[in-house]
Structure 1
Amino acid sequence: MNPVYWISGLFGCIFFTGTVLADAPNEYVNYSDSGHELDFPAYHDPLDELDIDKSETRYQFERSSLRALNVQDPLEGMNRRIYRFNAQFDQHVYLPVVRTYVWATPKVARKGVSNFFNNLKDIPHLGNSLLQGKFQRSAETTARLLFNSILGIGGIFDVANSMGLPQQPEDFGQTLGVYGVPPGPYLVIPFLGPSSLRDGTGKVVDWAIEDNVNYMNNRDFMNDYQATWGIWAIDLRYQTPFRYGALDSPFEYDQVRYLYTKLREFQVDN
């Protein structure tokens, strides 16, 4: 999955947003069909100074807890700048585009779009399950692909989930971890967020798997109609529950870094 295509597609969608955003209702919008309520207002810049009473125990606790959040981060200065850029981009560009998408698109259509792209993700999920020796999971993912691609009309309907076959994500970063490759230094990737040297490499491999498999000729279609990359990018944010500033802490960068690292450790071990 070439990131150049989806970035260019996303910025193409921004022009559309500028023409219709003024007509969109200026209110809280629950834009995720997965049950996560994500309201667009009340954004907090995670790196601005917060109004915290430093005499209170909460501040002292958070400050003293930073030692427990230590993660290998030799590029911290650069990572923090990218984190701030991502937060500002999310507030001023990404979320307004997603809000317009929600306003202009019926929920059933948004669900179908999400299901379609999620179905394509099962290609690298299947490959990585096999590489990790998780053969039962591989069989279940294969069944998901067949049911959703055939009965679900190219993945627009997630019939496999209702049949007791939920999506079981596996990525190449996890595969490398299973075989003992350490995560390496922590990285914050522009637009994409938290990662590591191992996981960033894994993303590239997973994109290459999707591109080369070209399941149902989806890559040929998306490359011929590059606006679909913008739709993919919008749907990616639409399905992501993370909100910058949600932790309401001056140490959000450290906490996100720690939580991401622990989550990846858990995913590798399971």
Structure 2
Amino acid sequence: MAKHLFLTALLLGSSLANAAQSSPATNNQTDADEGFTAPLQSLTFIPGLDNFVAASNSAMDVYDPLETWNRGVYQFNYRLDQWVMLPAVRGYTYVTPKFARTGVSNFFSNLGDLPSLGNSLLQLKGERAMRTTARLLFNTILGVAGIWDPATAMGLPKEREDFGQTLGYYGVPAGAYLVLPVYGPSNLRDTSGLVVDTLGEQSANFLNVAEESKRHFEISLLRAIDTRYTTPYRYGQLNTPFEYSRVRYLYTEVRKLQIAE
């Protein structure tokens, strides 16, 4: 279903991008890199599509009262990614063998299974909690602290749960859309969840990583680079002036699916 949602959004975004070439924006809040704030408002050049435009505008609507701030942060993240993060990833890829990069990714992924386990328990997802527990045991013991990932080969794929999903599971609304510096798309509920998950991981101090990270900044730096290395998204890859709106919509819909599963 998520795949169908993503394809639908891409098709809709492509149509909007083509329409933008034929119709000027009426909204004063524009951005040279990502386009107009509400492009659907100006699609009046094709007769008889008023109902379609109104329905599309409603379907793509996301509560974003902080849009001016969010767009500024989005641009900051874009520049940071281009000038700092991606060059760091390229350097990391150049000097680090693939097997070592895989081991680093597995290690940090194994750490992430701990908050997933806690949130599965909070959501009363017993089977998922047992699978995540098995993953932790197999990868930590057999996989030498998670450097290898035998659990996936044994039919136990990674299942992510975070405290933002837990809050959503119990009916807490998403609140306003929010773009976080460095982290990217979020909302008020998920930002609160991120804080709780981070504090929980530090308190658990699994494999003594949290404590060692305080004394060795390079661990946190490596984790940040690995996170960007394993994240396939690239700013501008959607090739549309409506990237901000599309990312905002896709993030919101994906989170709904994650909470519902």
- Normalised by the shorter chain, which TM-score bucket? 0.7 to 0.9
Q: Is the 8 A contact 2:113 2:136 kept in 1?
A: yes
Q: Is the 8 A contact 1:151 1:159 kept in 2?
A: yes
Which of the residues 160, 185, 204 maps onto 2:176?
185
- Where 1:222 maps in the other structure, the secondary structure is helix
State the AA in 1 paired with 2:217: Q
Write out aligned runs for 1:119-130 (5 A): 119-130=110-121
Q: Shift in Å at residue 174 of structure 1?
A: 0.3
Ranges in structure 1 where 5+ consecutive residues have no aligned partner:
1-48
Q: Which has the higher contact order (CA 8 A, sep 6+)?
A: 1
Which of the residues 125, 148, 151 maps onto 2:139?
148
Identity %: 54
Please tell me whether residue 135 in structure 1 is matched to residue 126 in structure 2.
yes
Q: Distance in 1 between matches of 2:198 and 2:42?
A: 38
Distance 1:66 1:100, change over 3 A: farther
Which of the residues 21, 38, 42 maps onto 1:53?
21
Q: Shift in Å at residue 53 of structure 1?
A: 3.5
Which of the residues 102, 106, 130 maps onto 2:97?
106
- Where 1:263 maps in the other structure, the secondary structure is helix
After TM superposition, where is structure 1 displaced by more than 4 Å over at least 4 residues in a row?
59-67
Q: Distance in 2 between matches of 1:98 and 1:107?
A: 13
TM-score (norm 2): 0.80
User: Cα deviations across residues 64-114 of structure 1 (Å, max 9, x unaligned)?
Assistant: 444431100000000000001111111111101100000010000000000
Q: Distance in 1 between matches of 2:231 and 2:144?
A: 24
Q: Shift in Å at residue 194 of structure 1?
A: 0.2
- Where 1:200 maps in the other structure, the secondary structure is helix
Q: Is the 8 A contact 2:173 2:189 kept in 1?
A: yes
Q: Distance in 2 between matches of 1:218 and 1:70?
A: 41
**What is aligned with 1:252?**
243
State the AA in 1 paired with 2:178: L
State the AA in 2 paired with 1:150: I
Please tell me whether residue 198 in structure 1 is matched to residue 189 in structure 2.
yes
- Where 1:194 maps in the other structure, the secondary structure is strand
Ranges in structure 2 where 5+ consecutive residues have no aligned partner:
1-16, 24-38, 44-52
Please tell me whether residue 80 in structure 1 is matched to residue 48 in structure 2.
no
User: Cα deviations across residues 20-49 of structure 1 (Å, max 9, x unaligned)?
Assistant: xxxxxxxxxxxxxxxxxxxxxxxxxxxxx9
TM-score (norm 1): 0.77
- Where 1:154 maps in the other structure, the secondary structure is coil
**What is aligned with 2:59?**
68
- Where 1:70 maps in the other structure, the secondary structure is coil
Write out aligned runs for 1:161-172 (5 A): 161-172=152-163
Q: Distance in 2 between matches of 1:175 and 1:204?
A: 13
State the AA in 2 paired with 1:102: T
Q: Distance in 2 between matches of 1:220 and 1:125?
A: 20
- Where 1:187 maps in the other structure, the secondary structure is strand
State the AA in 1 paired with 2:158: Q
Q: Distance in 2 between matches of 1:60 and 1:174?
A: 31
- Where 2:145 maps in the other structure, the secondary structure is coil
- Where 1:165 maps in the other structure, the secondary structure is coil
Aligned pairs, number: 219
State the AA in 2 paired with 1:226: F
Which of the residues 209, 223, 229 maps onto 1:238?
229
Quote the RMSD (CA, aligned, Å). Answer: 2.1
Q: Is the 8 A contact 1:129 1:137 kept in 2?
A: yes
Q: Shift in Å at residue 218 of structure 1?
A: 1.3
Q: Distance in 1 between matches of 2:230 and 2:88?
A: 14
